[in-house]
Structure 1
Amino acid sequence: METATLLKQIGFIKEIDKLKYITRKTRLFNSDRHENDAEHSWHLALMAIVLAGHSNKPIDVLKVVKMVLIHDIVEIDAGDTFIYDTAKNHTNTEEELRAAKRIFGLLPAEQASEFISIWEEFEAGHTNEAKFARSMDRLEPLLQNTSNNGGTWAEFNVGYQQVYDKKSVIKKGSEAIWEYAENLLKENVEKGILRK
């Protein structure tokens, strides 16, 4: 492998260390400490491997793992947008696309193109892999908030219907996991953790 290629890849590796400093609103399970984007991505990758058998359709697990590992890298530039934020829409923005091009553009052209393509596929959410990856992205904070007596739901006064609407994306990737999640939401309401 030529030196220029390796140097570009090392430059990218150094840049993505910044993901460890991007703090999310959600907290670790049974904890007061906020999760960072790197921890979130790592957790989703393992969840995807463990839960892949529950996907609605056959999936390329390695592709799903790639998606969840890189999906939030754009937040190095764009910052984390809270999913229940009413001021800033939690969708693919021009700001995120610019971030994707800059950060993934640090890689050699072929890898940069692959990473941007995988990131765009995740954001679009149309393929079986993207649907399952997005299911993992919505499931993890649900589990975290449940473990933290409401977590960000309580902190930001988020109600059941808002949570339900955001989490229902899970069923596109896995009906089985959605059934579990839906029951968990009901239990949270019954326990007074999530306001109806």
Structure 2
Amino acid sequence: MVHGMVVFVFIYSTCMVLVQRVDAADPDPLVDFSANATTPVFRNIFANGDVTTGSGGVRAALDIGKFPGLTSEGLTVVQFKMVPCGENVPHTHPRATELLSLINGGPLQAGFIDTKGETHINILYPGDLIVFPRGLLHFEVNVGTETAFYISALNSQNPGTLDAAGAVLQLPERAAAIALNIDIAAVRALKSQRPYNEPPTLEAAKPGVCVPGQFITTDV
């Protein structure tokens, strides 16, 4: 009951925080609610939402395709269950600002890079929130020893998601090699290991890259 109340309060608070920016992403609604909205309630997002599973955990999203009640409300909601040393790989949302709240587990290392190339990295504990400005590259890593459960809300019913690493490797091989300062053989090797994912899946770190509960800091 307490967990459900926390989720409700987070989503309600997010709507209030983002309401001033909704019109920047989506048009204002012309009716109270969409005629397609048969119910304002959605049951069990991890079973019935848009679910993707990777080596780093489970991502479950709700958009108008899965939940017509969101139509014209300028909102997309995503819930995550991320294993220790899992990562929501670097990505952007070209049409939305994101507000993330860690409910339990973790902690999370989370942050974004601005257009000046400056990093804004923080460690999040249960009850903490972070905002990812519209269009900026961002990520989350579970640096703790417990599975992290967290929620994100985005102020568009179609925020879009661009997988940064996967997108670079979709460039012509020469362009990617120049951008990454590597040779074409290395680009081909990376492409064979790193397909483009839409939406990006949660990925687990390779052995030796991350140890759960160690180096809980913003600079590693």
Length-normalised TM-score, structure 2:
0.30
Bigger helix fraction: 1
Bigger strand fraction: 2
